[in-house]
Structure 1
Amino acid sequence: MMKAIQIPKSLIEETITRIRDAILTGELPLGSKLSEQRLADMLGVSRSPVAQALAVLKTEGLVEVYPKRGSFVYMPDARTVSELCEYRAILETAALQLSLERQSPLLLTSMRASVEAMEGALQAKDLQAYSRHDMAFHLAFLSHCDNRQLESAYSRSISTVIGVRTHVFMSGSPHPMRSMDEHRQILAACEAGDPQAACRLLEIHIHHLDKDFINMG
């Protein structure tokens, strides 16, 4: 019996990446309805890879599926955002301490580059670019902690946090200036060789996200 032609795996992976990026950059807003046919038309593919992509993104927590209603971009409640921030703070402070112990010069170089890029994006009033460079600042902790398990755990769970951050940023919240100052303070503490102060500042900074999210309601 003739077998059906399988959709190339690379096409499915590319579809997943495109839809994920659209969610994380705010092109597909939190809570918005996802039409398989509309997404397929936008991406120039059939509905099959889109359906498979949404199934994968559901496992990542970025898509929610409701019987008889369809698929939607996730919209977490305040408690979920608070828990995500708590989880993120635990991982990032651990990664920052390890990075300062193991690869401090490389870490500081990465952090300085991100801060400089964030300042440029803020001056240009490009909030999407600011958000990307902000994330790069935090990812530097994981890149230089020399712990693959910690980096893997972070990468599996960070997407939902990025989506919330973008949602808050694009809402017109005035907090980017505060965010910029906090990143400078974290960098300064690291440059001063004070990991305890850096981690304390980092934890405060991370938990501002759940407060900003609540204030949007």
Structure 2
Amino acid sequence: MAEPMRVLQRPKSLTTLAADQIRSRIVRGELGLGTPLSENALALELGVSKTPIREALLQLKMEGLVSIQPQRGSFVFEMSMDEIQQLGELRETLEVTALDRAMARNPEPIATALTVIVDAMTDAVAADDCGRYRILDADYHRVLCDHSGNRYLADCYAGFAFRIQALRAKLATDPALNAMSLRDHRDLRDLIKAGDAAGARTLLVAHMRRTIVDYEASMAELAVVA
């Protein structure tokens, strides 16, 4: 009997590879909000021509991570506190809805998935690996939406998830905030595992709103220093 044909894996294009690299640097905080993005410098640094860099920046603009301004160039996105508040409201609406739906369907699968992430988050905090913790934090909240049973909700959340990661980069370097965040994520997992939908919803909302408050405090500190 002939062996079944294997599905060929297409290699990533230079544009995709460039977008992955630039996106990763933005969400890790290596390219801060408002940072100018030089096509020439990025092309030289990544060892490609300007064409895939230009196409990558267009892709990242569609993801909300890059602002392309005529006659000025490309920049990492920036947001006012009012815009951040609005983004927080949208995030809260989607995540609470996702949590309610996931728990109504079956809380066990989401609790199991979150346990794996919480264990990894605990290791990251113990190792003071802020970058790893930030990635796991994003994974945790994405799991909530992925278990909602509504792919349109999950797709909507994915549309701005990278922005949230980039904003979180300002907070994830504070060990005290990471420890508090870990406690929230662990407690939320426990409430979901226990089937306490009301308690889980209350904690999730408090967690997301405190993140906005912490970010606002961080911005105020930077303004004082400046």
1:28 and 2:31 equivalent?
yes
Q: 2:53 aligns with which of 37, 50, 53?
A: 50
User: What is the SS of the residue equivalent to 1:88?
Assistant: helix
Q: 1:135 aligns with which of 138, 142, 155?
A: 138
Displacement of 1:14 after TM fit? 2.0
TM-score (norm 1): 0.90
Displacement of 1:209 after TM fit? 2.0
Aligned length: 209
Displacement of 1:169 after TM fit? 1.6
What CA distance in whole angstroms lies between the structure 2 residues aligned with 1:177 and 1:41? 39
Displacement of 1:122 after TM fit? 0.2
User: What is the SS of the residue equivalent to 1:71?
Assistant: strand
What CA distance in whole angstroms lies between the structure 2 residues aligned with 1:142 and 1:205? 16
Q: Which residue of structure 1 aligns with residue 185 of structure 2?
A: 183
What CA distance in whole angstroms lies between the structure 2 residues aligned with 1:122 and 1:48? 40
**Which structure 2 residues correspond to residues 85-124 of structure 1 after superposition, within 5 A?**
85-124=88-127
Query: 1:34 is aligned with what amino acid?
Result: L
Query: 1:57 is aligned with what amino acid?
Result: L
1:40-64 deviation digits (Å, cap 9, x = unpaired) = 1121110111111112211221112
Percentage of pairs with the same residue? 34
Given that 2:114 and 2:189 are in contact with CA atoms closer than 8 Å, whether structure 1 keeps it comes out as: yes
Q: Which residue of structure 2 aligns with residue 210 of structure 1?
A: 212
1:174-194 deviation digits (Å, cap 9, x = unpaired) = 311111111122112112211
Q: Which residue of structure 2 aligns with residue 82 of structure 1?
A: 85
What CA distance in whole angstroms lies between the structure 2 residues aligned with 1:143 and 1:44? 36
Given that 1:82 and 1:207 are in contact with CA atoms closer than 8 Å, whether structure 2 keeps it comes out as: no
Displacement of 1:173 after TM fit? 6.8
Displacement of 1:116 after TM fit? 0.8
* Higher mean C-alpha displacement, 173-182 vs 202-211: 173-182
Q: CA RMSD in A?
A: 1.7
Note the residue ranges of structure 1 that are not aligned, 5 or more in a row.
Answer: 1-7
TM-score (norm 2): 0.87
Given that 1:30 and 1:167 are in contact with CA atoms closer than 8 Å, whether structure 2 keeps it comes out as: no
Q: Which residue of structure 1 aligns with residue 43 of structure 2?
A: 40
Given that 2:15 and 2:53 are in contact with CA atoms closer than 8 Å, whether structure 1 keeps it comes out as: yes
Note the residue ranges of structure 2 that are not aligned, 5 or more in a row.
Answer: 1-10, 220-226
1:196 and 2:198 equivalent?
yes
Q: 1:12 aligns with which of 8, 15, 22?
A: 15
Query: 2:35 is aligned with what amino acid?
Result: S
User: What is the SS of the residue equivalent to 1:117?
Assistant: helix
Given that 2:128 and 2:175 are in contact with CA atoms closer than 8 Å, whether structure 1 keeps it comes out as: no
What CA distance in whole angstroms lies between the structure 1 residues aligned with 2:158 and 2:210? 21
1:2-48 deviation digits (Å, cap 9, x = unpaired) = xxxxxx98221222222111111122122211111111112111011
Given that 2:170 and 2:218 are in contact with CA atoms closer than 8 Å, whether structure 1 keeps it comes out as: no
* Higher mean C-alpha displacement, 25-34 vs 59-68: 59-68
